[in-house]
Amino acid sequence: QVLAILCLRGTDPFLPECLRRLANMKYANFTLRIVIDSENDPACETVKAFLHAESPSHVEVTYLRNRRPHCSGKFSGILAATEKLPEGCEIVAFFDGDTMVFPDCLKELVAPLQDERIGVTSGNRWYAPQSQNFASLVRFTWNALAVPFMNVAQMPWGGCMALRAREMSNPAVREYCEQRFNEDMTLGSYVIQQGQRVFFVTNATIVNHETITMKSFYNFLVRQLLAVRSSFFGWRLLFVNILALNLSVLALYCL
């Protein structure tokens, strides 16, 4: 039994397709729990239209009532969604509103967790923009360099990840999460400190076709670095590697 969680704040061009794909994943026993930021959120209309069109019996929709003061809105949504787990739930999975999953994605995420040495399973994103603007090219290059480092450093991606339900039910883990900015680095660091490891599921690499402006990319990159700085125990090593990598890329451009 798996609880799949989708936290929404604002709408996204890919959200209708994301909802359809998540609801139709080929997995025998799972519940999709959607947590919307508020009843006035723009995502409400998209979710209502999806429910009206599909009428899925295994999809639940709730609204974020208790916003924790010291963690992000998404983490508040995850903590709210996991306060009461479905009976017999063994795995909790997280997805983002622009994650275009494939039919067997949940199977791929759950299978490695049969090994107790693995604490978190994760996919990753791969940007393949349809336009050729400069900002999209920069983010594509950034992503191409980030993916292998995330695998080496065991830094999961919150847009497509899973862990055992008992971790999210642990009062100590929940209290720890209430003080953190992002779920992926926080839970990844936690399981590593418990002697487990993060397992990357190559088949769960999610292609993202969206374009971006330089301003949006700058804000995106600041969030990524803030997430690492606030929650990842090896952030100093990451900083040194990024600095060396950027200097190398700059040298290649100069040459």
Q: Which two tokens stand for residue 113?
A: 């967790």
Closest by CA to 133, choosing from 210, 56, 191, is 210
Q: What is the DSSP letter of 8?
A: E
| Contact yes or no for 83/77 (Cβ under 8 A) | no
Per-residue confidence in pLDDT tens, the chain, 255 aa: 999 999 999 988 889 999 999 999 999 999 999 999 999 999 999 999 999 998 899 999 999 988 888 888 888 999 999 999 999 999 999 999 989 999 999 999 999 999 999 999 999 999 998 888 888 988 888 888 888 888 888 889 999 999 999 999 999 899 888 888 888 888 988 899 899 999 999 989 999 888 899 999 899 888 888 877 776 666 777 777 777 877 887 888 788
The pTM assigned to this predicted structure is 0.87
Closest by CA to 216, choosing from 107, 129, 136, is 136
User: Hey, how many other C-beta atoms are within 10 angstroms of the C-beta on 103?
Assistant: 11
Report the DSSP pairing between strands 197-208 and 118-127: parallel
Left if phi > 0, otherwise alpha if psi is -120 to 50, otherwise beta: which for 10? left
Q: Outline where DSSP puts E strands in 165-235.
A: 197-208
pLDDT at 215: 93
Cα separation, 126 vs 147, in Å, equals 8
Cα separation, 213 vs 208, in Å, equals 15
> Would you give the distance in Å from CA 68 to the centre of its chain?
19
Closest by CA to 81, choosing from 149, 147, 5, is 5
Instruction: Tell me the backbone φ, ψ of residue 75, rounded to 5 degrees.
Output: -65, -35
